[in-house]
Amino acid sequence: MSVLRPELFKNCVAIVTGGGTGIGRAITYELLTLGAKVVIASRSAEKLQIAVDEFAKVGSGNITSIPCNIRKENEVRSLISETLKRHGKIDFLVNNGGGQFLSPAADMTLKGWNAVIETNLTGTYLMMRETYTQWMRDNGGAIVNIIADMWRGFPMMSHTGAARAAVLNLTKSVSVEWAQDGVRVNCVAPGVIQSPTAAANYNVDVFEEAKKRLPSWRTGRPDEVSGAVCFLLSPAARFISGTCLNIDAAGSLYSPLFHNVDEHDKLPEYKWIPDPPKQSKL
């Protein structure tokens, strides 16, 4: 079970973009177990319905879905207004939706570059702006943006590195602008987090190779991200805004140039959220 208090988010309403798969799925599940009503959103209505059905089977009935391409302003506006129509408020927004692909910077097409920038940066901005203007400006709330370990650049995925760095700066900016309205905005930067969805994005086993380059000598789990997100949404974080929490077991600080961490198993996984069923399309 979650390390946070049962029913902590009872009567709260949350939107989680990309909430049906990977890290988003774990965040959705933990919010549900803590009593929240969750609206998940992504472009794929099919994936959303699979997630809703799956959570319903384990007794998590406070979940609904709304298809939305966060790159489309009108669809984002409709997502927020429909959520308010269904639930009457929005306490939390988790901007988890995003995507990228492997490519050297010199080989990227403008279309590919724009697709990643528009999804990871512009989509996050639109979600924040519409949630703020339609509800949080008058009622307060908490926003968590999921970014990435881009602190030393992001070779082979420079498009997402640029977008995620921009989201961090955007987070810092609006955390000051919106403070007077009772809105807290923070980021979570996961390191190498392994999930069936993430693995399906690559035609090589990037996670097995990555383990050798991490001081933890293992990848992270979505469960180990969701708890941090829920903490930042919780009352315990009411004096935390405009910052970023790294979930990477010091991976962003590690360089084997002067100190090599030998293979070990001293950092056991924190695991409580069940993995998706193997037959699931998640």
The domain defined by 13-194+220-250 carries CATH number 3.30.565.10: no
Burial 52-88 (b: 16+ CB within 10 A, else e): bebbeeeebebbbbbbbbbbeeebbbbbbeebeeebe
pLDDT band at 197 (very low <50, low <70, confident <90, very high): confident
Question: pTM of the prediction?
Answer: 0.91
Beta strand 183-190 pairing with 244-247: parallel
**pLDDT per residue as tens digits for the range 210-222:** 888 899 989 999 9
**Terminal-to-terminal C-alpha distance of the chain:** 22
pLDDT band at 232 (very low <50, low <70, confident <90, very high): very high
**pLDDT per residue as tens digits for the range 78-128:** 999 999 999 999 999 999 999 888 899 999 999 999 999 999 999 999 999
Q: At what angle do helices 45-57 and 22-33 cross, to 10 degrees?
A: 40
Higher pLDDT, 142 or 208: 142
Given this model, what pLDDT does residue 77 score? 98
- DSSP per-residue string spanning 150-213: -BTB-TT-HHHHHHHHHHHHHHHHHHHHTGGGTEEEEEEEE-SB--HHHHTT-SS-HHHHHHTT
Q: Is 25 helix (H, G, I), strand (E, B) or coil?
A: helix
Domain boundaries defined on the chain = 13-194+220-250
DSSP code at position 120? I
